[in-house]
Structure 1
Amino acid sequence: MIQRFERNDRRILTFPAVHPCEGISPATLLDSLITLSRNICNYKSKFFATQRRNVRETIRQVGILLIFFEEIKDHLPRNRDSTVLCFAELHTTFQKLKFLLDDCTREGAKTWMLMKAHSVASQFRALVRIVATALDVLPLNSLNVSGEIKELVLMVANQAQKAKMELDPEDEDATKRVIVIVNQFENKFQPDPCVIKKFLDYLDITTWSQCHKEIKFLEEEINFESSENHEREVPMLSGLVGLLSYCRGILFEDSVYGNSDQSDGTSNLETLTCLNPEDFRCPISLELMTDPVTVSTGQTYDRASIQKWLKSGNLLCPKTGGILQSTELVPNSTLRKLIQQFCFDNGISITKSRKTNRDISRTILPGSPAAAEAIKFLSEFLAGRLYFGSDQQKSKAAYEIRLLAKSNIFNRSVLIEAASIPGLLQMLSTNDPSMQEISISALLKLSKHSQGKKVIVENRGLNSILDVLKNGLTMEAKQTAAAIIFYISSPREYRKLIGENPEVFPALVGLIEYGTSCGKKNAIVAIFGLLLSHSNHERALGAGTIPALVNLLASSDKVELNTDALAVLATLAERTEGSFAILEASALPVILSQLQNITSRAGKEYCVSILFFLCINSGAEVIAALVRERQVMPLLYSLLTEGTSQAKKRTRSLIRILQRFCETSTSRFVSEVPQEQFIDVR
């Protein structure tokens, strides 16, 4: 085989580099050409939603040439220059034809292929003309084939030269129908469902799963176009996403949903991490910042997100609402280094994170007016279903809300404005485990929006979410509830409000003790977020947070989970009562073991923070115990060569404390321990 025909890495309607066949023996070239021709002929049995006439004519011509190739296989002529030239050109062209046929039958690409029908027809026409040109140099008279075969080849050459390969009238009508529907959305007019169904039936999009795949494909195209700064196609692509999302949520209401893509199902559990503190998140995209910049109000955002915000004409600070006196963006190099260290410690690709941030920040505004109106119509319909639908309709509506809000900030805002949150909160009290999972998952996506947090709190949603955390029908529902508590706790006033509920910390500690790995992580991170309010430290201690975390560290071998647990212990150790609680839980050997064995750089630094505060808050007994551990000092010295500047400072301070203890008496050391204030390594 000369060329690799299957290419799963290429984009639709593009041809990868197809190299000419040079230095290939005629026999090998002909064998490969026969194989390629057969592959093209096999498309005869496949369904083509568009380009049916052009496809039929192309396959017919290739089929005739296949007969010719097989006829001369054992009778290649001696004078082969012009023959090989023809075969090489046909081989290259047939590869491109196969790529084009792949696109015409590609799953999920039917709608886009319809909208590109004119361009696709032109490609068919150009490739068939190349076939005609190649056959012009073929010395038929010198080939040992029958007169009938020669006539067939001449017929193909003649037809290929004259082939019009025009757009199928039915494709053109369907394309115009889609454009009309998209324009109706843009003009804030809800299209007739019967008209929409005609275009869906034409493309054979008859199930929820097929419609969902169309949306996923179009979203991937939008992401690619945006990442490459090719914005020309984005409005049309966005309009189609809006149209098909409308279809998926309304026209396929009674069909089976959620089975086509498990990554979008409730089984896709969201896990959080303490190593992504709130200061690392962009207030606009809610994702990890990769290029943090500060604006005139003193707030920090990811550069891509705030530039998109400013480009859209907004001159207010997104977080404070204050007027931006200047659009100058000042790089926050210190924060960027901390984030880079975090990414290094946790194996996160900076490039991948930057792409993710760019994708999510792009969705602050709708991709097109048509997309915006389609989502508004759909959001109102789904919100209505939450209140007045059957249980099955409610579950379906909640599932659609989750999909819409998953990675689109504009969709979140529209769904919140449509009053979907109160309806989702009502569903949490159901006795149906599946319904509860779907509704709590949808609420999780909406809780990432600043307005979503506010609506949940104002509708007393914290009580409903807490009830799921304590008594959820499935472990998945409980751990999702813990994640929601983390997101809601990001505003300072809500941290205090949540912490004042006496059942919150005991419920989170219970999840640490009995939950899955995902549940444990979410509970730990929720506690971490609540501890940003100092008034919650005492409540966390009273709920038994420290013994639960120490037991987890003693039994778990999961690096990320242990690192998160150490982060919470380091926060609690800052206060005297926290340090004493850690010692009472017999945690010192566990912390030393983690310092020695954990592979995470951040985990080691959290261990150093815990030991430092234990020394400061608990005195000579802890210091003496550390001095007796011979492996401690070498480990501390090794940490001085890497890590953040704050972590190095903390390590140096701990080393000095231990050295001074060795040099002086215990009583004198205790009286001279400096009560300095140190910056937390987080």
Structure 2
Amino acid sequence: MISSWRKIRRSSNKKDVASMELSIPNHYRCPISLELMKDPVTLSTGITYDRASIETWIEAGNRTCPITNQVLKTLEPIPNHTLRKMIQDWCVDNSSFGIERIPTPRTPLGAREIAEILSRLVEAQQREDARACQEIVAKIVGLAKESERNKQRILKNETIGVLASSFEAFAKSSYDHNVGVLEQILLALTILISSLDGEAKFHLGSNSSLRCMVWLLNSGDLSTRRNAVLVLKHVLSSDQRKMDDFSEIKESLEGLVKVIKEPICPTTTKASLVIIYNIILSKKVNENVVTKFINMGLVERLLEMLVDSEKSICEKALGVLDGICMCNQGRERAYANALTMPVLVKKILRVSDLATEFSVSILWNLSKNESAAGNNGNGSVVLAEAVQVGAFQKLLLLLQFGCSERTKDMASDLLKMLNVHRDTVECVDTRDFRNLKLPA
């Protein structure tokens, strides 16, 4: 067995040496990358480059040929099929040296082709032909997924605006009848979401579009619900008026909480938490909206998530919990949960500065308002438990390490309140809670 392995290894080494000795012909190398060209294209100056290299050069704002420095008559390079075939033949002839044949590249997506596809989409949408629209959008999705180059070409056109306009148009009709095209457009929007501009947000933020996305958020499959919440996050995050309109739609809040209670993926959970956070902090949202979140069990779910969650989710969950604990009913629900104090104290100085600030703010709200929250007049319940799980020591450390002025003021205030109870309860090392498990 050992002997055979050594023979194989020796043979492999010879092959590596042979590969190192094989030199690539200069005219097969890209003048920019100096690597073997996989997709040779020729510029108007007659110089040939690898497509990826020269497109990167042009996309950087250059309008000249890198070798001749001549101004390019056209920015569209021409595929050099003859040279590409020669390179492929050379790869085959030298396969014994470990050279793999380069695959024949697909024809890149051009601006004219994109314009034609969008024109067909607009015509189909005007005819209210949902099936044709679905097929066209599916083609756009396929092209965008095929390569990053195609995706960037698609983004440079008005594709995102046309898709958003089509979504709004079909959202005004029967959801059940148009569900296929609506789901396909949402998928395309999530792929191209980095370029969601004002026009697209205008169409997607209309009342009909928002209502449709709420319907999909509650009744769609996992993929559709994911796409809906991701698009909603981008549409609502920068427009408080749309955020308020969304929160008034029936079952909108239920859909967001459903995504958190039945997690699809971390990205979806984060998006839902961001939307909820903005809704709760909205000046126009009354306490009834927060109460709805509380009655749906959001406080308990947030605390369970905080036991063991990644940094970004932890920060967002604490932010939402901080907003909920600004109202009496939210504090009452937090008081009643055994996880509240140990989890909050554990997060101080453990996750990030933002998580620490939110944790201190929640503790301050609970401690400052506990008597008014219905603890039967016993103003020491929360404070005593906080001392018991090590809040006093954590807050002292926080002041030593430094924090924002607002957090510093709250921490100082908390220390004064906690100091009264230091001699009345037995303190527990917060490390005892590092293996804290979720409640059954």
TM-score bracket for this pair, using the shorter chain length: 0.5 to 0.7
Within 2, Cα distance between the matches of 1:528 and 1:116? Answer: 44
Q: Which residue of 1 is the match for residue 317 of structure 2?
A: 565
Q: Which residue of 2 is the match for residue 647 of structure 1?
A: 407
Q: Which residue of 2 is the match for residue 627 of structure 1?
A: 387
Deviation sequence 1:313-369 (CA, Å, 0-9, x none): xxxxxxxxxxxxxxxxxxxxxxxxxxxxxxxxxxxxxxxxxxxxxxxxxxxxxxxxx
Structure 2 residue identity aligned to 1:486: K
Q: Which residue of 2 is the match for residue 392 of structure 1?
A: 135
Deviation, 1:120, is 5.0
Q: Which residue of 2 is the match for residue 520 of structure 1?
A: 269
Verify the 8 A CA contact 2:133 2:181 in the aligned structure 1: no
Q: Which residue of 1 is the match for residue 108 of structure 2?
A: 211
Equivalent of residue 187 in structure 2, options 417, 430, 438: 438
Verify the 8 A CA contact 1:553 1:562 in the aligned structure 2: yes
Within 1, Cα distance between the matches of 2:52 and 2:355? Answer: 45
Deviation, 1:42, is 7.3
Deviation, 1:200, is 5.2
Within 2, Cα distance between the matches of 1:464 and 1:494? Answer: 14
Q: Which residue of 2 is the match for residue 148 of structure 1?
A: none
Within 2, Cα distance between the matches of 1:424 and 1:442? Answer: 20
Structure 1 residue identity aligned to 2:52: E
Equivalent of residue 659 in structure 1, options 405, 416, 419: 419
Q: Which residue of 2 is the match for residue 49 of structure 1?
A: 41
Deviation, 1:392, is 2.1
Structure 1 residue identity aligned to 2:41: A
State the TM-score, normalized to the length of structure 2: 0.64
Mapped pair 1:40 → 2:40:
no
- Tell me the secondary structure at the aligned position of residue 39 of structure 1: coil
Verify the 8 A CA contact 1:469 1:477 in the aligned structure 2: yes
Structure 2 residue identity aligned to 1:517: P
Deviation, 1:532, is 1.9
Within 2, Cα distance between the matches of 1:528 and 1:390? Answer: 35
Mapped pair 1:105 → 2:50:
yes
Mapped pair 1:480 → 2:227:
yes
Verify the 8 A CA contact 1:524 1:568 in the aligned structure 2: yes
Within 1, Cα distance between the matches of 2:312 and 2:152? Answer: 24
Deviation, 1:464, is 1.2
Verify the 8 A CA contact 2:299 2:334 in the aligned structure 1: yes
Mapped pair 1:615 → 2:367:
yes
- Tell me the secondary structure at the aligned position of residue 49 of structure 1: strand
In the TM superposition, 1:90-101 aligns within 5 A as: none
Verify the 8 A CA contact 2:161 2:199 in the aligned structure 1: no
Mapped pair 1:594 → 2:333:
no
Deviation, 1:517, is 1.9
Deviation, 1:595, is 2.5
Structure 1 residue identity aligned to 2:294: L
- Judged with a 3 Å threshold, the aligned counterparts in structure 2 of structure 1 residues 467 and 598 are, in CA distance, closer, same or farther, namely farther
Q: Which residue of 2 is the match for residue 511 of structure 1?
A: 259
Within 2, Cα distance between the matches of 1:411 and 1:476? Answer: 26
- Judged with a 3 Å threshold, the aligned counterparts in structure 2 of structure 1 residues 663 and 386 are, in CA distance, closer, same or farther, namely same
Within 2, Cα distance between the matches of 1:452 and 1:53? Answer: 40
Structure 2 residue identity aligned to 1:537: V
Q: Which has the higher contact order (CA 8 A, sep 6+)?
A: 1
In the TM superposition, 1:76-155 aligns within 5 A as: 104-107=49-52, 109=54, 119-120=65-66, 122=68
Deviation, 1:502, is 3.6
Within 1, Cα distance between the matches of 2:134 and 2:156? Answer: 27
Mapped pair 1:638 → 2:385:
no
Deviation sequence 1:5-37 (CA, Å, 0-9, x none): xxxxxxxxxxxxxxxxxxxxxxxxxxxxxx899
State the TM-score, normalized to the length of structure 1: 0.44
Verify the 8 A CA contact 1:559 1:598 in the aligned structure 2: no
Verify the 8 A CA contact 1:386 1:423 in the aligned structure 2: yes
Verify the 8 A CA contact 1:513 1:552 in the aligned structure 2: no
- What's the RMSD between the two structures over aligned residues? 4.6
Deviation, 1:639, is 1.4
Equivalent of residue 303 in structure 2, options 523, 539, 550: 550
Verify the 8 A CA contact 1:570 1:610 in the aligned structure 2: yes
Deviation, 1:400, is 7.2
Q: Which residue of 2 is the match for residue 422 of structure 1?
A: 168
Deviation, 1:424, is 7.0
Deviation sequence 1:75-133 (CA, Å, 0-9, x none): xxxxxxxxxxxxxxxxxxxxxxxxxxxx72353626968x989845648xxxxxxxxxx
Structure 2 residue identity aligned to 1:105: D
Verify the 8 A CA contact 1:383 1:420 in the aligned structure 2: yes
Deviation, 1:43, is 2.1
Deviation, 1:546, is 0.9
Equivalent of residue 335 in structure 2, options 550, 564, 583: 583
Deviation sequence 1:545-569 (CA, Å, 0-9, x none): 1112122223x33222122111110
- Tell me the secondary structure at the aligned position of residue 104 of structure 1: strand
Mapped pair 1:249 → 2:249:
no
- Judged with a 3 Å threshold, the aligned counterparts in structure 2 of structure 1 residues 397 and 540 are, in CA distance, closer, same or farther, namely same
Deviation, 1:465, is 0.7
Deviation sequence 1:592-648 (CA, Å, 0-9, x none): 45335732221122111111111122132211221233x211111121232222222
- Residue correspondences, number: 352
Q: Which residue of 2 is the match for residue 498 of structure 1?
A: 246
Within 2, Cα distance between the matches of 1:247 and 1:477? Answer: 31
Structure 1 residue identity aligned to 2:398: L
Within 2, Cα distance between the matches of 1:453 and 1:466? Answer: 16
Deviation, 1:382, is 4.5
Verify the 8 A CA contact 1:413 1:449 in the aligned structure 2: no
Within 2, Cα distance between the matches of 1:637 and 1:596? Answer: 11
Within 2, Cα distance between the matches of 1:578 and 1:118? Answer: 63
In the TM superposition, 1:321-332 aligns within 5 A as: none
Verify the 8 A CA contact 1:421 1:443 in the aligned structure 2: no
Larger Rg: 1
- Tell me the secondary structure at the aligned position of residue 598 of structure 1: coil
In the TM superposition, 1:533-544 aligns within 5 A as: 533=282, 534-535=285-286, 536-544=289-297
- Judged with a 3 Å threshold, the aligned counterparts in structure 2 of structure 1 residues 118 and 500 are, in CA distance, closer, same or farther, namely closer
- Judged with a 3 Å threshold, the aligned counterparts in structure 2 of structure 1 residues 110 and 599 are, in CA distance, closer, same or farther, namely closer
Verify the 8 A CA contact 1:444 1:484 in the aligned structure 2: yes
Within 2, Cα distance between the matches of 1:410 and 1:120? Answer: 24
Deviation sequence 1:404-443 (CA, Å, 0-9, x none): 9989999669826993442575799434897265245268
